[in-house]
Amino acid sequence: MKYNIIPTKKEDYFVSKYIHSVFFEYFGKVIYDGIWVGKDSKKEDIDGIRKDVIDGCRELSVGAMRWPGGCCADHYHWKNGIGKDRQDRMHPIADPANPIWRMDFGTDEFMRFCELTGADPILTVNVATGTPEEFLDWYEYVNGPTSTKYGALRAENGHSEPYNVKFWGIGNTDENVWHIDYNNPVAYAQNYLKYQTVLREDRRKKLYFIGLGLSMRHGLPGWPGKALDHITRNQRDIAPNALSIHHYLGGAKQGGALCGGETEYTDDGYYALLDLLERYQYDIDLHRITIKEHTPKGSNTKICFDEWGVWHPEATVNNNQNQKQTMRDAIFAALTFHIFYKNSDIVEFAMETQLSNLLQSLFETDGEKFYKTPTFYIMKLLKEHTNQYLTHVLPDDIDSDLDTVATVSDDGNKLTVSIVNKSLYDEKEIDLCLKENWKAVKADIVTCENVRDYNTFDEPYNIKDCEFTVPDNLSFTVPKHSVVRICLEKV
């Protein structure tokens, strides 16, 4: 395949660093012991947070972290998780791993985690069982001066300077409405406006509000448009900065038995899962149209994929929703990122779900044991795309097994190209054609011999990133079921 690449930036297509973000909540072993081991732990930590996870997040340059949920945000009351005297609570959601909801990882610990990793915090507000006043108090705790009640409490708890949290999710998903006020987008819109109105307008303008879009679980026709109409007072007032989407694909969700299991799947099942990714593009197209038709002219409302990933049938409540990841999951992750990059004019955030030990996680932990998943290595491989602009890639033929993205730096001197070859059996000959002189300065690949291989605590490197050789003429062979990323500089 010959790719003609024109390295001029598409101005509206900036690949935000927030497309490489993560999400976690109080389910299974995500936080205990996937993040938090406590300050008295024998495990190497920084202020109670696993150092191996901190280092891994730094290695990825994670853009943002979303917390405390997810579903747990619908029941989280932040005042239970601050200060020295924190009492455990009954967990309101069925979770065999955590029947008791510990409060030792709370707001200040989350902020410390973000500080240690360089990620920006996204706080999800409890719209389901909380109140606007509770949100105002939380805002004051993280952003208020010490002359205020909760700003002073923050200082008393060890952090005199405001955390300056900018990003706020107003609710978790349209499930809030589903559980409490069935099929009523206006009810959510009224709640959204209540939560927004507790802050002065000049303060609201400095914040970034993520409202609810349409999630795959319910798919109620017209839901986002009806909510936006009410929030904007029929396009006469400001819209949310972004709308959220939650969508899982795979054997436990959409795709069903056709996709097979986590490691046991047919060749047809391999392709069936990857073919489901057209639904992410459908999500984007639907919300793109809805935003255009239901927000005021000149609005710049974006899309936030709050939760995305594969959900295999083996990931159940009884095993803490944990699953193995093969090379198929890595290919899935790479193709997902490619979709987000190609729609970066409107997709600004995307949160891999979840950070540790659950679903398509980045890390697996068990006490002293730790390994990085195939999804980790894909996110690491592709991180050079972030903070760059999408550019033009013109193939001279059609090959449905190949998917290619190129981005260019703001100054036009750096080019990043990533190629996904999803074929199970065929390697691909690639020629990169550039009119000016460019040189490959770094190239890496994620692949393995057996597409059904996976990493374990005993064999943590079955799937990982390795150096890849690209000759000066930029002609090379991409192996079967692999992802290649090439960084070039103008000569």
Q: What is the pLDDT of residues 294-345, one digit of tens each?
A: 999 989 999 999 999 999 999 998 999 999 999 999 999 999 999 999 999 9
Tell me, what DSSP letter sits at residue 454? Answer: B
Whether the CA torsion 330, 26, 341, 376 is positive or negative: it is negative
* In the predicted structure, residue 131 carries a pLDDT above the cut 70: yes
Q: Which fold has domain 392-490?
A: Immunoglobulin-like (2.60.40)
Mean pLDDT along residues 172-188 = 76
Residues 6+ apart with CB under 8 A from 57: 22, 117, 118, 119, 362
**pLDDT at position 184:** 86
pLDDT tier at 257, thresholds 50, 70, 90: confident
Going from N- to C-terminal start, the domains of the chain cover 17-386, 392-490
**17-386 CATH choice from 3.40.30.10, 3.20.20.80, 3.50.50.60, 1.10.1060.10:** 3.20.20.80
Cα distance between residue 70 and residue 134, in whole Å: 18
Which of 79-93, 168-182, 209-223 shows the lowest per-residue confidence on average (mean pLDDT)? 168-182
**pLDDT at position 73:** 94
pLDDT tier at 219, thresholds 50, 70, 90: low
* In the predicted structure, residue 218 carries a pLDDT above the cut 80: no
Cα distance between residue 354 and residue 22, in whole Å: 7
Looking at every residue in the chain, the average pLDDT score rounds to: 95
Going across the sheet that includes 2-6, the strands are 392-395, 2-6, 428-433, 475-478
**pLDDT at position 315:** 96
Q: Which two tokens stand for residue 275?
A: 């073919």
